[in-house]
């Protein structure tokens, strides 16, 4: 599976935090921080927008690095993605992602 596919099936390659990081784009970091602050009702600063991808060695946003329950669970189980877990279709941690993102669901369904 492509290394830019996150444990949850999202495509890190298209994530604006990753794009801001690889492009070293501070304007995009500020836009992402403002949007994510509003969406999450939490203070997210542009300095926190520094990530290369969920399953790739290197920097991650604070959420992805240490707070994401999906990433924590998959790493603890030694999985490449949640698609390798027998319980992914009924997982409460994963349901908000696959319930709202048909592309993530499709990626996990195609996991072999």
Lookup: tokens for 38: 């509003």
CB of 52 closer than 8 Å to CB of 22: yes
pLDDT at 112: 61
Give CA–CA dist 65/72, Å, rounded.
9
Give me the residues of the chain with pLDDT under 70, please.
Answer: 1, 112
- pLDDT tens column, 30-57: 999 999 999 889 999 999 999 999 999 9
């Amino acid at each position: 599976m492509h290394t830019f596919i996150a444990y949850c099936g999202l495509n890190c390659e298209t994530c604006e935090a990753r794009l801001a990081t690889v492009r070293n784009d501070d304007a995009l970091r500020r836009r992402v921080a403002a949007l994510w602050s509003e969406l999450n009702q939490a203070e997210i600063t542009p300095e926190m927008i520094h990530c290369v991808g969920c399953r790739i060695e290197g920097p991650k946003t604070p959420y992805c690095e240490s707070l994401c329950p999906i990433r924590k669970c998959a790493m603890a189980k030694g999985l490449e993605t949640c698609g390798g877990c027998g319980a992914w279709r009924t997982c409460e941690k994963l349901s908000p992602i696959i319930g709202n993102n048909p592309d993530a669901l499709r990626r996990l369904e195609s996991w072999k």
